[in-house]
Structure 1
Amino acid sequence: MAKVKYYYDSDTLSYKKIKSKISDILKKISLALVSAIMFMVLGYVVFTQFFDSPKEKELKRELEFVKLNEQLHSKKIVQLEKILQDIQDRDNNIYRLYFEVSPISNEQRKAGFGGVNRYKALEGFDNSEMIIDVTKNMDILSKQLYIQSKSLDEIVKLAENKEKLLAAIPAIQPVKNQDLTRMASGYGWRTDPFTKANKKHWGMDFTAPKGTPVYASGDGVIERADQNAAGYGKHIRIDHGFGYISLYAHLSNYNVKKGQKVKRGDLIGFVGNTGRSQAPHLHYEIFKNGARINPINFYYGNLSPEEFAAMQKAAEIQGQSLD
């Protein structure tokens, strides 16, 4: 129930009711509405100034999450770059050096990121700079990892080849020391036993009794086991790969046949006196890329330093060869 208001009339000495005009009432209502609206607007302004809407809160959380991920990714990229740099250093300074392969330059590792702007699609956003920076670093890191992966694949192949090469190189004496009578003649100019002329002796002669075992000096495939080469008599040729071939001449018999695979130290034949030979012995030669080379440099596999020195001294004596 609305309150009734009175005023004191001094003429009549009595209280009379205050009658409100319609216009006054409307004014009051309008003033109240305006005040209420202003209060609401002011309240909204103050609220939005100091408090976020649910949508704004969600967007801020997402932005904070993006920034946090960017920081974490940046740290991980730095860690991966350090690890990759260590691998690259090892690759250039140890692995490639060991296998005698040219190192990969920094220009090669980091090339391919100039010219076209490949990040244009990421421009125009609030956090474009941050996103582009992380994306670019990831791309650079990915390419370097790809190059390093290819390099390590190459190193693996080189290692496999190196292992095969070390097994294939003719690296042992084909006749055991305990089976030798003596080392009769070395590589170089010697007196021919038949013509007595000074003639180049292309191998080494090992004197031993007929039937003495002869061993393969390296892994390979029997290329020949016949007596169809002039002067060599019954002889064997082993293709070791990598340009190496070893030859064993004047044999009395074979223990292998053409096309057979052999390992270093396998028994391949026996000392004899066939062909152009003056006495039972093994004539031994090594070819590299078709050219004869001195076999004395290839006995590191089964001779001690003292034995090698004695053999080298005997090989240097310029006497008469046996073939």
Structure 2
Amino acid sequence: MAKVKFYYDSEKLAFKRIIPKRGQKFGYVLLFLVASALFGFLCFFILANTSFFETPKTKLQARELETMQLNYQLLRNKMALMDEALTAIEERDNNIYRVYFNSAPIKEEERRSGMGGANRYKDLEGFNTSELVIASSKKVDELMKALAIQSVSLDEITKLAKQKEQLLAAIPAIQPVKNEDLKQMASGFGYRSDPFTKIKKFHKGMDFSARNGTPIYATGDGVVKKADGSLSGYGNHIEILHGYGYLTLYAHLSKYKVRAGQRVKRGDIIGYVGSTGRSEAPHLHYEVHKNGEVVNPLNFYYGSISAKEYVLLAKLANQENQSLD
């Protein structure tokens, strides 16, 4: 039963009953409903953002977020291992490979500089995991750039290695006549007595005394520049261009086994010992030229003789005896 309300009329000195208007009742009801709705929405919002009230969807999202964070952590661990392995490769590249091939090392700031662009990671901002995702993305970009630089460096090292291999094959590195075929090492590099004038003059090569027809070997890879008798006093001779500034000359041959323009390998037979031209007896006169200057051939026999044989050969070559040409 609804309560009856009264008010006191001071003029008539009596209590009178309050009769509410119909519209006022409706307003009270509407206000109550709006207030109830706002209070209910507020309670729902509070509960929805606390751990006391989780829907299946929010639980699934929380589980996915936790899984993603775990996967990112595993990814970062793998990147750390990759970074460690790459650092070891970079150290070997700078301190071994590039040192061996006399190439300048790559600076650390060039290898590990970040990717350009201030807003490169702007699209990854504004999320709960933005810090984690951006840090991982930066590390991936750094590793990718470092790997690209290292790949280019290894390509360069491979190219240098091939050039080094070609250089080592081209350098005159063996005796032109085998030890077992020699009668003696007749004369060395330097001032020697001329066999015809008996006057000391500079002897540009080494003379190897051997029987007529003894095989003569190319001392390094190269291309035959000439095989003829065009140089006065040298008789039948061969010149081989080895590249890298090297040229070798073989003189007083009895006959040739190569022709001009032919490519030869170290150890190939190119001709035979003779006594043609200005020669006193069968022997091979052998010269080594580097960048247009004659150099002592004795310094280029490391590929065919032992240390003991080298000492003996050096002793014989340094005797100031008479040359054979």
TM-score by length of 2: 0.82
2:193 alignment counterpart: 191
1:313 equivalenced with 2:309 (yes/no): no
Which amino acid counterpart does residue 69 of structure 1 have in structure 2?
N
**In 1, Cα distance between the equivalents of 2:282 and 2:131?**
85
Q: 1:246 is paired with a residue of what secondary structure? A: strand
Alignment of 1:163-312 (within 5 A): 163-312=165-314
Gaps of 5+ in 1: 1-25
Asked if the contact 2:192/2:321 (under 8 Å) is kept, the reply is yes
Moved beyond 3 Å, runs of 4+: 36-47, 111-117
1:92 equivalenced with 2:114 (yes/no): no
Q: 1:181 is paired with a residue of what secondary structure? A: strand
Please list the CA deviations of residues 178-223 of structure 1 after superposition, one character each: whole Å capped at 9, or x if unmatched. Answer: 1111111111112222333322111101111211111111222212
Structure 1 residue 254: Cα displacement: 0.3
CA 1:158–1:123: 2 relative to 1, 3 Å: same
2:139 alignment counterpart: 137
Asked if the contact 2:94/2:106 (under 8 Å) is kept, the reply is yes
**In 2, Cα distance between the equivalents of 1:115 and 1:39?**
49
Asked if the contact 2:114/2:141 (under 8 Å) is kept, the reply is no
Which amino acid counterpart does residue 318 of structure 1 have in structure 2?
E
Alignment of 1:2-21 (within 5 A): none
TM-score by length of 1: 0.82
**In 2, Cα distance between the equivalents of 1:76 and 1:68?**
13
Which amino acid counterpart does residue 101 of structure 2 have in structure 1?
F
**In 1, Cα distance between the equivalents of 2:78 and 2:195?**
77
Asked if the contact 2:114/2:138 (under 8 Å) is kept, the reply is no
Q: 1:65 is paired with a residue of what secondary structure? A: helix
Asked if the contact 2:236/2:252 (under 8 Å) is kept, the reply is yes
**In 1, Cα distance between the equivalents of 2:38 and 2:172?**
103
Q: 1:161 is paired with a residue of what secondary structure? A: helix
1:102 alignment counterpart: 104
Please list the CA deviations of residues 52-84 of structure 1 after superposition, one character each: whole Å capped at 9, or x if unmatched. Answer: 234433432332233122212211111111000
**In 1, Cα distance between the equivalents of 2:74 and 2:80?**
10
1:161 equivalenced with 2:163 (yes/no): yes
Asked if the contact 2:255/2:274 (under 8 Å) is kept, the reply is yes
2:85 alignment counterpart: 83
Percentage identity across aligned positions?
57
Which amino acid counterpart does residue 160 of structure 2 have in structure 1?
L
CA RMSD, Structure 1 to Structure 2 (Å): 2.7
Q: How many residue pairs were aligned?
A: 295
**In 2, Cα distance between the equivalents of 1:57 and 1:194?**
108
